Chains A and B, each alone.
Chain A
Amino acid sequence: MKIIKLSIATVLMLIMGCGKQTPPKANQEAPKSATSDASATADTPSEPITLTGAGATFPFPIYSKWAHAYKNVNGTKLNYQSIGSGGGIAQIKAKTVAFGASDAPLKPEELDEVGLIQFPMIMGGVVPVVNLEDIAPGQLKLSQKVLADIFLGKVKKWNDKAIAADNPNVKLPDTDVSVVHRADGSGTTWIFTNYLDKISEEWKSKVGTGKSVEWPTGVGGKGNEGVAAYVQRIKGAIGYVEFAYALQNKMSHVKLQNKDGNYVDPTIESFQAAAANADWKNAPGFYLVLTEQPGAASWPITGASFILMYKNQDKPDVAKEALNFFDWCFANGAKAATDLHYVPMPKEVVELVHSLWKENIQSGGKAIWE
């Protein structure tokens, strides 16, 4: 009576994007300008470096795509494990990786405690999506108070007076509001709850900001795809997903009221407006959350994903190559990013990041980035 064991292969799909480019034999290609100014790497010229990183899942697709392209530049490989921001922070603290990645910035005190620096690498937006019949994407406007009250469980019907007041020309259905949130701990939830925290005193006192929180109402889906599936299933549902998921699943988004009081749509431009208007210069340790930023066109729920590195580096050549890679991404990676519906960092912020590298990252008292 032997049980036949069938092994069923699970297929992991890595979104690598550039499947069509056939990479030239990477190792033989001479290092290009990106490293030519680096005298530190001159003594080990032909050996390709493998960079290791671990952390946030949100930027994983774009980091993979960048790494694939960068490999053709000078043969450097990137081994990035998308184990979650919490895991990334733990790994960099244990010094098992060259850099960590986190969707939520660490507080300056926490950075100083272990001698880390952080800088924003890429941005994205979080978008509330709804499942309402006969209402076109972007047709429904939600004010700050209404959005918070919905997620607090206080607005129970879609034809509630509070919603109707903002939408005089929309025929609102008499369906129940079903809130859908992330069940797993995630940077997306952190950004979204941080926004609700900023716009609603009641949210601040009752719930707060976190990668997972005690939700006053609703059901939880696992991952962006789980939330998307639940919202598409449940009539009258409202949830929040990353911008790319809203686009790919053709989900119906809502217009949100930003800090200036305007109702805006989520677009690459409105995310960039939020980043450009943010006051990075006065944010020590780049501790800045991009939610609820000023500006007439700013999308209020924007977030950056951060890279964590040590100030004092034991392996200067690896650290230098990591910075080379990030620099190359800032300079050449914008198109790849927007193709995947990410938002590249604005120029002014990149300059600040460069000066942070210059001033802080060193090995044996010598600055690595010049």
Chain B
Amino acid sequence: MKMPRKQGSNASKSPLGDVLYNVFTRGAAGVVILIAIGIVFSLAGNSWPAIEKFGAHFLVDTTWNPVIFEFGALSSIAGTIVSTIIAMIIAVPLSVIIAFFLVELAHPWLSKPIGYAIELLAAVPSIIYGMWGLFVFAPFMADHIQPALQGWFGKLPLFEGPPMGIGMLSAGIILALMILPFITAVMRDVFRMVPSVVKEASFGMGSTTLETAQNVTVKYGFSGLLGAVFLGLGRAVGETMAVTFVIGNSHDISASLFAAGNTIASTLANEFTEAAEPLYMSALIELGLVLFVMTLVIQILAQWWIGRTQKKAGAGL
């Protein structure tokens, strides 16, 4: 194998193959940008009738009435955020613990099969999680977890209402189960990439396993861990089928986590097929646009934060 030539000065002299290669790779990369721009334009264009009709009111209104064509996205936006937060609260700490255990503590004969199992879970289609959630998990929630929560925190409005087994909390937990393998798999790789020299140095200083984990391994790979978290977050925000099955699909905002709600993705999945009227369709597409913007904002924040921590930490991944 020959080493690739230096770019720049002799790029103009490169043989035809290199030129084609250059054009092709650039073109392929450019297509990605074109597709992203195309999506924005078609979303914005198709949602224009709704944007014109409802304006900014769309974002703060909870009405969702397809009969008289009054649409507001607030319940869907709130549901998307709440279900994602529940999922992250559960999934992130667990992922860190599992990944750390697999890399630092477990024997290879244990960490290998668990690693495969995690990758297997990551490959399960979301509709399977949804059906499992509806037929297996929701009854379990209704019979055991929800009554227990009401017993412990009876007075909190967070856990009010009949224990139906479906609703915002169930959706959040199912989401957590779905993104857990993703986050864990990436975090495991991050932990593995921390050089053992660094850890050994820490042990040499007399640190315990826990101290090394806290002060060295996690700090060293912090930006990588953040990346894993945002990967999971991105998946949770847009998850459709699994949520649709268990969230209860109501366009109300409730203080109780036991109550039914909806997310942007679940509303789209439910209502797109039968939305024949132009304004209804347009409102649904505007919901899609809102989701797109939310994802974009998360991405930008993620990049900014990761960049900042990298600067702060100096070295690391």
Contacts and interface: CB of A to CB of B under 8 A. Distances in A.
B66 A211 contact: yes
Contact of B271 (A3, A89, A184, A219): A184
Nearest to A175: B162
A69 to B, nearest CB: 28
B153 interface: no
Contacts of B135: 229
A85 B274 contact: yes
Interface residues on A, range: 35 or more
Interface stretch (B8-16, B124-132, B208-216, B287-295): B124-132
Interface stretch (A4-12, A144-152, A314-322, A323-331): A4-12
B250 A185 contact: no
A233 B142 CA distance: 9
Contacts, number: 113
A222 B241 CA distance: 10
B244 A222 contact: yes
Given A3-B185, A220-B250, A212 B134 contact: no
A214 B134 contact: no
Interface string A143-163: 000000000000000000000
Given A222-B245, A226-B245, A176 B162 contact: yes
B63 A90 contact: no
A213 B245 contact: no
A111 interface: no
A239 B173 CA distance: 26
Contact of A178 (B122, B124, B162): B162
A106 to B, nearest CB: 10
Contacts of B160: none
B287 to A, nearest CB: 14
Contacts of B63: 214
A4 B262 CA distance: 33
B274 A185 contact: yes
Contacts of B162: 176, 178, 234
A4 B122 CA distance: 10
A344 to B, nearest CB: 25
B273 interface: yes
B134 A229 contact: yes
Interface stretch (A18-26, A202-210, A242-250, A252-260): A202-210
Nearest to B63: A214
Contacts of A8: 123-125, 128
Interface in B232-281: 244-245, 248-251, 260, 262, 266, 269-276
Contacts of A84: 273-274
Given A8-B124, A208-B68, A233-B139, A219 B166 contact: yes
B1 to A, nearest CB: 22
A183 to B, nearest CB: 3
Interface of B: 63-68, 116, 119-120, 122-125, 127-128, 134-135, 138-139, 142, 162, 164-167, 185, 189, 192, 244-245, 248-251, 260, 262, 266, 269-276
